[in-house]
A and B are shown apart, each in its own frame.
Chain A
Amino acid sequence: MGYTPELMDLIKRCEKTRPERVARKKASIEFPALTLDERQDRLEKYHPDYRPGGLRELKVGPSKGYKLAWEFADTFEARSRVDPDKINLDEVHYDTDVLVIGGGGAGTAAALIAQEQGSRVIIATKLRHGDANTMMAEGGIQAATKGWKDSPYYHYLDVMGGGHFENDPELVKTMVTEAPKVIGWLENLGCMFNKWADGKLFTLHGAGTCRKRMHYAGDMTGAEIMRVLRDEARNRLKDIGVLEFSPAVELLLDDKGNCSGAVLYNLETEEYFIVKAKAVVMATGGSGRLHVQGFMTTNHYGATGDGLVMGYRIGVGVRFLHATQYHPTGAVFPEQAEGLLITEKVRGAGANLINIEGEQFVFEREPRDIESASIIRECTKIGKGVPVPGQAGKWGVWLDSPMIELLEGPGTVEREFPAKFILYKRYGIDISKVPMLVYPTLHYQNGGLAYNSDGSTCVPGFYVAGEVGGGVHGANRLMGNSLLDITVFGRLAGEAAGAFVKERGDVGTLSVEHVRRYHKELEEAGIETDRVSPMVLPDYGNPDVKQRQWTTTYVGTLR
Chain B
Amino acid sequence: MATAEQKPVQTTNLPLYLAERTDLVPIFIMGKRYDVPSTLTIQKAFEYAGYQLIRSCGCRGGICGACATVYRLPDSPKIHVGLACQTVVQPSMYLAMVPFFPANRAVYDLDEIEPDVKTLLKHYPELAKCMGCNTCTKSCPMDLPVMEYISAALRGEIEKAAELSFPCVMCGICTSRCPAELAQYHIGMLCRRLTGRYINPAAEHVKAQIARIESGRFEGPLRKLMAADLQTLRKLYVDREMEPHGADEMWEPQEKEFL
Contacts and interface: CB of A to CB of B under 8 A. Distances in A.
A169 B236 contact: no
Nearest to B170: A227
A423 interface: yes
A268 B54 contact: yes
Contacts of B63: 135-136, 220, 223
A522 B101 CA distance: 45
B19 interface: no
Interface string A513-533: 000000000000000000000
B237 A183 contact: no
Nearest to B202: A199
Given A145-B203, A301-B60, A235 B210 contact: no
Contact of A192 (B40, B108, B200, B206): B200
B240 A157 contact: yes
B250 interface: yes
B54 A390 contact: no
Say which size band chain A's interface belongs to. Answer: 35 or more
Interface in A158-203: 158, 160-161, 165, 169-170, 173, 176-177, 180-181, 183-184, 187-193, 195-201
Interface in A211-267: 211-212, 218, 220, 223-224, 227-228, 231-232, 234-235, 237, 245, 267
B196 A541 contact: no
B49 A148 contact: no
Interface in B42-75: 44, 47-50, 52-55, 57-64, 66
A149 B253 contact: yes
Interface in B152-192: 162, 166-167, 169-170, 189, 192
A210 B170 contact: no
Contacts of B64: 130-131, 135-136, 223, 300
Nearest to B169: A223
B20 interface: no
A558 B195 CA distance: 44
A200 B203 contact: yes
A154 interface: yes
A68 interface: no
A335 interface: yes
Contacts of B108: 235
A62 B206 CA distance: 41
A545 B200 contact: no
Contacts of A161: 237
A541 B44 contact: no
B41 interface: yes
Given A153-B225, A300-B59, A541 B50 contact: yes
A447 B211 CA distance: 32
Contacts of B209: 144-147, 151, 180
Given A136-B63, A157-B237, A199-B203, A335 B40 contact: yes
B225 A156 contact: yes
Interface in B231-259: 233-234, 236-237, 240-243, 245, 247, 249-253, 258-259
A127 interface: yes
A187 B110 CA distance: 12
Contact of B86 (A188, A199, A302, A336): A336
Given A144-B209, A153-B218, A199 B240 contact: no
Given A227-B170, A537-B52, A300 B222 contact: no
Nearest to B222: A173
Interface string A275-312: 00000000000000000000000101110000000000
Contacts of B212: 147, 151
A501 to B, nearest CB: 24
B7 interface: no
A409 B125 CA distance: 49
Contacts of B88: 1, 334, 336
B66 A149 contact: no
A224 B195 CA distance: 13
Given A150-B259, A210-B241, A200 B205 contact: yes
Contacts of B105: 234
Nearest to A146: B205
Contacts of A16: none
B189 to A, nearest CB: 6
B226 interface: yes
Given A190-B192, A335-B40, A201 B206 contact: yes
A169 B57 contact: no
Contacts of B206: 145, 180, 183-184, 187, 201
A190 B41 CA distance: 35
Interface string A414-439: 00000000010010000000000000
Nearest to B251: A149
Contacts of A205: 243, 245
B55 to A, nearest CB: 7
B222 A177 contact: yes
Contacts of A128: 58, 66
B166 A197 contact: no
Given A210-B242, A301-B59, A267 B54 contact: yes
B208 interface: yes
A559 interface: yes
A540 interface: yes
Interface in B105-164: 105, 107-110, 162
B37 to A, nearest CB: 9
B42 to A, nearest CB: 9
A332 to B, nearest CB: 13
A181 B170 CA distance: 28
Contact of A148 (B197, B225, B233, B252): B252
Interface of B: 39-41, 44, 47-50, 52-55, 57-64, 66, 85-88, 105, 107-110, 162, 166-167, 169-170, 189, 192-197, 200-210, 212-213, 218, 221-222, 225-226, 230, 233-234, 236-237, 240-243, 245, 247, 249-253, 258-259
Closest 6 CB pairs between A and B? A190-B193, A199-B201, A545-B50, A190-B196, A190-B197, A153-B258
29 contacts: A127-B57, A130-B64, A135-B59, A135-B63, A147-B259, A149-B252, A152-B213, A153-B218, A154-B240, A157-B233, A158-B237, A161-B237, A181-B213, A187-B206, A190-B195, A191-B196, A192-B196, A199-B200, A220-B63, A224-B166, A231-B189, A245-B54, A267-B54, A336-B41, A336-B44, A537-B52, A546-B50, A549-B50, A559-B52
Given A184-B207, A205-B243, 8 more contacts: A147-B259, A152-B218, A153-B218, A187-B196, A190-B110, A192-B196, A220-B63, A237-B107
